[in-house]
């Protein structure tokens, strides 16, 4: 069964909702650098920076990995903006 957060994320692909992430904000709140996250995810700094600046969105699977690394719920990493 999908959580409401997961359903929102999945439905955003076919709706007029823009799902933006809060990765940068959560990193700042926790005092964690993007470089650390890129190493933990085995992703380039450029890729993580694109996620943090909402130029690109991580896959749902990667979003769960990020949430686990940052010790937060997935819902804490996403926000909804109407277009």
Cα 2 versus chain centre, distance: 17
Q: What is the pLDDT of residue 25?
A: 97
Q: Any idea which residue has 């994320």 for tokens?
A: 9
CB 37 within 8 A of CB 19: no
Q: What is the pLDDT of residue 14?
A: 45
Number of domains in the chain: 1
Report d(CA 36, CA 15) in Å as an integer: 33
Query: Please, what are the averages of pLDDT over each run of 10 residues along the chain (83 residues)?
Result: 60 63 97 98 98 94 96 92 65
Report d(CA 45, CA 30) in Å as an integer: 18
CA angle, 70 then 59 then 37, to 5°: 30
Domain CATH for 21: 1.10.260.40
Q: Which domain holds residue 21?
A: 4-82
Q: What is the pLDDT of residue 19?
A: 78
């Amino acid at each position: 069964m999908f959580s409401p957060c997961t359903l929102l994320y999945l439905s955003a692909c076919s709706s007029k909702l823009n799902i933006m992430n809060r990765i940068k904000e959560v990193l700042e709140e926790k005092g964690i650098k993007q470089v650390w996250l890129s190493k933990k995810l085995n992703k380039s700094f450029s890729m993580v920076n694109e996620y943090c600046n909402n130029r690109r969105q991580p896959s749902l699977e990667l979003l769960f990995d990020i949430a686990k690394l940052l010790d937060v719920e997935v819902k804490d990493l996403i926000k909804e903006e109407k277009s």
